[in-house]
Amino acid sequence: MRYVFCLLIVVGIAGMSMNAQTTQTTAQINPLLMQWNTPFGIPPFDQIKDEHFLPAVEAGIAEQRKEVDIIANSTEPPMFANTIEALDATGELLSKVSAVFGNLSSAETNDNLQAIARRITPLTSALRDDIMLNEKLFARVKAVWEQRDKLKLRADQIRLLEETYKNFVRSGANLTPQQKERLRKINEESSLLSLRFGENLLKETNNYRLVIEKKEDLAGLPDGVIAAAADAAKSAGMEGKWVFTLHAPSIWPFMTYAENRDLRRQIFTAYIMRGDQGNERDNKSLLVKIAALRAERAKLLGFPTHAHFVLDNRMAKTPENVYGLLNRLWPAALNVAKKEIADMQALIKSEGKEFKLEPWDWWFYAEKVKKAKYDLDENVVREYFTLENVRQGAFTVATKLYGVSFVEHTNLPKYHSEVRAFEVKDKDGSHLALFLVDYHPRAGKRSGAWASRYRSQQIREGKDIRPIVVNVCNFTRPIPGQPALLRLEEVETLFHEFGHALHSIFSRIHYRGIAGVPTDFVELPSQIMENWALEPEVLKIYAKHWQTGAVIPDELIRKIENAEKFNQGFKTVEYLAASYLDLDWHTFTEPKEVDAGAFEKSSLQKIGLMPEIVSRYRSPYFQHIFSGGYSAGYYSYIWSEVLDSDAFTAFKEKGIFDQPTAASFRKNILEKGGTEEAMEMYKKFRGREPSVEPLLEKRGLK
């Protein structure tokens, strides 16, 4: 995601204006303000210190403000080149600095960076408003837009013009002065509240530890999971004990294998109560304010709800269309989930136990049912999925599809010792991108997995500036004597994020303003890559036993295939519940104060969510929508899965490595950014609009 920031006069850390001499001195000592003569233009991480960020952002703000003022105050007639194209080119310094700061704030944050973010956020929010609400600038943009039919522009230039004009309107350019002032306040307050939401969640996640002192409480846990917990305890100064956390590589193996039901309840309850404990990190009041402010902003801008505002710029177009898709999937998913509950309840009874299945039992008994039905043991499967081999497997798929190659560079600056860097070369040997991977959890890294960029691709003054792309994940760590062995879910996540990376790596666009694609389309390049991860032909390439090197046997592949639709009722229901919850929070027609807990309960009762399943994200830790750019858009994953399921059938029909199909996908999807309407890009690849049938088949919902 491109960081969009604007500009101001350079201000020092103490808040005092800096003259030109001070600015020059700062540039001499601040690596963020210097030209990076590093290999591939990678940020000089080894030279950057926390204290460099605020003055660098302020310098970038000043530079972009000057650039924008020149455009707005120009006496030349407004034309595409001197207005639209010129505006797209502003803010290079700020984009460069903000990309480094934003990425580190997610992957390697600390108290200093969080404090700096609180300083920067209101500045950048206000400054973006200064640009988008600049009346002289908008007048020039509008003048160019009004003569668009007379201009001889390329298709991507027409797209940039349309998107630029639309962004100004959606940002309040047509509002009255009083409305604009209120919009500024809403934007500033919303950005700070979202920042606090994310900070609270990170602290809540990091602050919890389940400390086990008795060996008998480890019953059922695999040796590798126990060893990782012992290693975590040792790192925490509690050698001889075992520590489990709320990070994915720790909590989910515990939930899957720990026989101690009460301990499963404890850690699961801690997980679902993050941000909902009535302490200084409670997120309920923050999210209610965020939702109310979004509703008010939507009304100011002429939309019935925030969801209408967001979706007007997406493939889905309206909340009604999204609810329609969710409602089509929900009954079938609910029925499958009820059958899964019945299977687990029967197993509990067969063990001579009388308790009712609870949410903290799901992973444990689902694993038992899977073993009984499919003779599939996750621990046996993991032995064939070392992190190194899975990563190389993803690289091999990209090579076979697109002819690209990956060359590791070990001497580049890194923001953490665990980061690895690969140069991506096209099939003709030309440089495509620098690709960074950062795979293991740390206290300074937020949970989840994501792809981002330290530099975006664009063609400027005839030069193709290639991107610096990063995948950040939270995968199982290696333990002494054993490499990192991934769960199937982690394998698919690695391929997923690599798909996002390829979308950036292959980008060939001229303008940053049309680099992005709608949220409900952006998951297509990532989710389609998951399809290759477990294809038998692909597994034979990279899935090898970590000790013997033996290729995964056909029998185990058959078991994985047979179990592909297992637990899909649960996975679909918990996901759809979160999607409904997201939309419900963002379809307020008026700003209003509500009780967050009561609202969430009502939302989930309305759709009939069973008590055995908790929504994938509860409101107080729903970072995607309250602090992550997916508000009214969490449905995007299932919307994009309709696309990816349909798109992958094109490969299945002709061969999963069919070169013409791969070339078409690269040309019409991966290289295009947002230069065309998403549906038009899809139809150019597929020859038609997508069908929902492959998704229903894939999830076993037919």
Q: What is the mean pLDDT of residues 353-367?
A: 97
CA distances from 690 to 244, 461, 636, 678 (A): 43, 38, 15, 12
Token match 């030309």: residue? Answer: 430
Q: Quickly state the pLDDT bin for 28 (edges 50, 70, 90).
A: low
- Decide: 101 and 53 in contact? Cβ < 8 Å: yes
Predicted confidence at residue 700, as pLDDT, reads 85
pLDDT of residue 655 exceeding 60:
yes
pLDDT cut 90: percent of the chain above it: 94
Q: pLDDT tens-digit profile of 606-620?
A: 999 999 999 999 999
Predicted confidence at residue 24, as pLDDT, reads 44
* Other CB atoms within 10 A of residue 209 CB: 18
Residues 6+ apart with CB under 8 A from 339: 569
Active-site residue among 199, 423, 497, 530? 497
Predicted confidence at residue 27, as pLDDT, reads 47
* Other CB atoms within 10 A of residue 641 CB: 22
Q: What is the mean pLDDT of residues 387-410?
A: 98
Q: Quickly state the pLDDT bin for 701 (edges 50, 70, 90).
A: confident
Specify the DSSP element, H or E, that contains 447: none
Specify the DSSP element, H or E, that contains 339: helix 319-350
Q: Quickly state the pLDDT bin for 19 (edges 50, 70, 90).
A: very low
pLDDT of residue 623 exceeding 90:
yes
Name the DSSP letter for residue 148: G
pLDDT of residue 12 exceeding 80:
no
- What residue type is assigned to position 684 of the chain? K
pLDDT of residue 4 exceeding 90:
no
Q: How far apart are CA 604 and CA 482, in angstroms?
A: 43
Tokens of 213: 């002192």
- Decide: 423 and 434 in contact? Cβ < 8 Å: yes
Residues 6+ apart with CB under 8 A from 354: none
- What residue type is assigned to position 184 of the chain? R
24 vs 565, more confident: 565
Q: How far apart are CA 615 and CA 391, in angstroms?
A: 31
Domains of the chain, each with CATH number or no CATH: 208-272 (no CATH), 311-378+567-698 (1.10.1370.10), 382-517 (3.40.390.10)
Q: What is the mean pLDDT of residues 347-362?
A: 97
Q: pLDDT tens-digit profile of 161-172?
A: 999 999 999 999
pLDDT of residue 25 exceeding 60:
no
Closest CA to 505 of 477, 478, 466, 542: 466
Q: What is the mean pLDDT of residues 466-495?
A: 96
Q: How far apart are CA 151 and CA 160, in angstroms?
A: 13
pLDDT of residue 15 exceeding 90:
no
Residue 226: left if φ>0, alpha if ψ -120 to 50, beta else—which one?
alpha
Q: Quickly state the pLDDT bin for 696 (edges 50, 70, 90).
A: confident
Q: Quickly state the pLDDT bin for 187 (edges 50, 70, 90).
A: very high
- Decide: 52 and 31 in contact? Cβ < 8 Å: yes
Q: Is 497 a catalytic residue?
A: yes
pTM of the complete model: 0.92
pLDDT of residue 54 exceeding 60:
yes
Q: Quickly state the pLDDT bin for 22 (edges 50, 70, 90).
A: very low
Predicted confidence at residue 29, as pLDDT, reads 87
Q: pLDDT tens-digit profile of 66-123?
A: 999 999 999 999 999 999 999 999 999 999 999 999 999 999 999 999 999 999 999 9
pLDDT of residue 207 exceeding 60:
yes
Q: What is the mean pLDDT of residues 440-469?
A: 95
Q: pLDDT tens-digit profile of 242-289?
A: 999 999 999 999 999 999 999 999 999 999 999 999 999 999 999 999
Q: What mean pLDDT is reported for the chain?
A: 94
Q: What is the mean pLDDT of residues 217-225?
A: 96
Closest CA to 697 of 651, 659, 642: 642
